[in-house]
Amino acid sequence: MSGAPVWPGAVAVALVVVATLAIGSLGLRLSRTTSDFMVASRTVPAFTNASAISGEYLSAASFLGVAGLLLTFGADMLWYPVGWTAGYLVMLALVSAPLRRSGAYTLPDFAEARLGSRRVRTICSVLVVAVGWLYLLPLFQGAGVMLGAALGLPTWIGPAGVASVVLVNVIGGGMRSITLVQAVQYWFKLTALLLPAAVLLAVWLGDGRPDTERLGRPDFPTDVLAWSNPLADGGAQGLYLTYALIAATFFGTMGLPHVVVRFYTNPDGRSARRSTLLVLALLGLFYLVPPVYGALGRVYAPELAASGESDLLVLLLPRIVVPGLGGDLLTGLVVAGAFAAFLSTSSGLAIAVAGVLGQDVTGRSWGGRRLGGVAAFRLGAVIAVVVPAAVALGEPSAGVATTVGLAFAVAASTFAPLLMLGIWWRRLTPTGAGAGLVVGGLGSGAAALTTLYLDGPAGWVGVLAARPALWSIPLATAVMMLVSLATQRTVPPGVRRFMVRLHTPEALDLDRG
């Protein structure tokens, strides 16, 4: 964006920050108890919760990445939004209502209530923090890259700015503040994409639907190395990578801690199911828009794919198609939407990690002193945000889509088997669950670290490390089941009653028969 005015984007980002803090301050006046901070006292209506879930789920990988992938690789990349949306269909069918009926605050709470094991709880706590930080790191890094490209700011401004705004809201009002912010930000992000897309389509139609040849653009590049390509060049590896992407997105959604924790905020299981159904509709509506940018990018800016700037297509396209003040204003709108995407997802992850740290780390007795519930949560929030922000300041970006995809794979390889078996299979034992979590976590985690920080090996070994979900999910599930079958004597004594609780509507009073 060299030579283009940056003031529209700067003003828009400033307004997003002010609006985020102002809306979050409403939650500050309402939050008093630990339940307020962690699950908004389980009083969030279905539509508000669905908007908030959609707001936090639609990260920069959705706002910016989908259009860039479609620009470079075409319609095959629609597997990304299809997978991200279909993950909620799996949650609707298998997880959302029983999880709400469990009465837990966090994933470790559910694991301990279902299995009666502090050891399994500890493993879950470690994994929640690991997945949360693995997801937060690329968001903070991506914010720096985006603000640098759009506003010419130093890259450290992005991580520091996003972390500061998120921390103020999370510490101030917890889940109540974040719920209001994320619900509003979903509709703002949709508007920030939809309005410019409508203008760009009108210009395209007014130009007589030009193609790249009529515009004098170069031939569309076909030999681009992508920043995130799940399909490879075809053949056996390409097919494997496609199925691995589907597995990670379908099952990773139910294992993401910031997604799961939102279902604890519904009043009951029926409301949780209704929220999930509404999320499917809201995500489907949003994902209709990024392909428009990808398609128009192939007409007006195909050279972005060759230059490695395809992930900035949404930010650059308005000025390319609409020169002058109109393009500047549209650019400011999409820059603000992208910044809101970083804020909303980071806020959800911070809440999830802070809740676990507040219960299992900062809330413990240290030197004879023990922090209270809200104080422990706030200290946990500081750790949850500051650690990945500090790492983001010192590490080069590994690519938002790549790292987020690996976070999905780790979540799918650990919490997805735990939730499905814990909810639907009464023979699951603490030993089996712990073994499966360790195997799935170590396997997918080692693959993620190899891909991000080491030169990945060539051939099939590198492919298996880059997309571990297709082997790590079955492995973790098999270990959980086989070890559980071998340790049936350790099945918790109250498992039958707990399973009835998970699957019985709240309208039935179990205590009265």
Tokens 């503040």 correspond to what residue? Answer: 177
* Helix, strand, coil tally for the chain in percent (to 5): 80, 0, 20
- 293 part of a folded domain: yes
Is position 203 within any domain? yes
Averaged confidence pLDDT in the chain: 84
Tally of domains in the chain: 1
Residue 477 lies in a domain: yes
**Interval 297-356: pLDDT, tens:** 988 888 888 777 788 899 999 999 998 899 999 999 999 999 999 999 998 888 889 888
**What would the pLDDT profile of 141-170 be if each residue is shown by its tens digit?**
888 888 888 888 888 888 899 999 989 888
483-506 pLDDT tens trace: 999 999 999 988 999 999 888 876
Quick check: is 1 in a domain?
no
Contact 476, 508 (CB under 8 A): no
Q: Does 283 map to a domain? A: yes
The tokens for 16 are 């997003």
Q: What is the pLDDT of residue 218?
A: 59
pLDDT category of residue 225 using cuts at 50, 70 and 90: very low
The answer to whether position 393 is within a domain reads: yes
Burial 202-235 (b: 16+ CB within 10 A, else e): ebbeeeeeeebeeeebeebeeebebbbbbbbeee
pLDDT band at 360 (very low <50, low <70, confident <90, very high): confident
Kindly state whether residue 260 falls inside one of the protein's structural domains: yes
pLDDT at 490: 92
Q: Which of 402-406, 474-478, 499-503 has the highest mean pLDDT?
A: 474-478
How sure is the predictor about 371, in pLDDT bands with cuts at 50, 70 and 90? Answer: low
Section 233-238 average pLDDT = 59
Q: Residue 362 has what pLDDT? A: 65
Task: Select the more confidently predicted residue: 132 or 104.
Answer: 132
**pLDDT value of position 91:** 85
Cβ neighbour number for residue 201 with a 10 Å cutoff: 14
CATH number at residue 256: 1.20.1730.10
Mean pLDDT of 37-61: 84
Place of tokens 């279905």: 46
For residues 266-286, average pLDDT? 89
Q: What is the pLDDT of residue 418?
A: 96
**Averaged over 435-439, what is the pLDDT?**
97
**Any idea how long the chain is?**
513
How many whole angstroms separate alpha carbon 193 and alpha carbon 19?
18
Provide the pLDDT for residue 513: 46
Is there a contact between 317 and 301 (Cβ–Cβ < 8 Å)? yes
pLDDT score at 15: 92
Looking at the domain assignment, is residue 2 inside a domain? no
**Residue 359 belongs to domain spanning:** 7-512
Mean pLDDT of the 389-393 span = 88
Identify whether the C-beta of residue 241 lies closer than 8 Å to the C-beta of residue 471: no
Of 130, 164, 232, the residue nearest 393 (C-alpha): 164
